[in-house]
Amino acid sequence: MNVTDKITTSKIHSIEWGDATWDAKDVSIRNRYDNASGGKFNYAGSAELPWEDFKIMIAESIKRNHFSNIELGEIMDEISTKLKSL
Q: Which domain holds residue 29?
A: 2-84
State how many domains the chain has: 1
Average pLDDT for the chain: 90
Quick check: pTM over 0.75?
yes
Residue 76, classed as helix, strand or coil, is helix
> Distance between CA 48 and CA 30 in Å, rounded?
5
**pLDDT digit string (tens) for 51-74?**
999 999 999 999 999 999 999 999
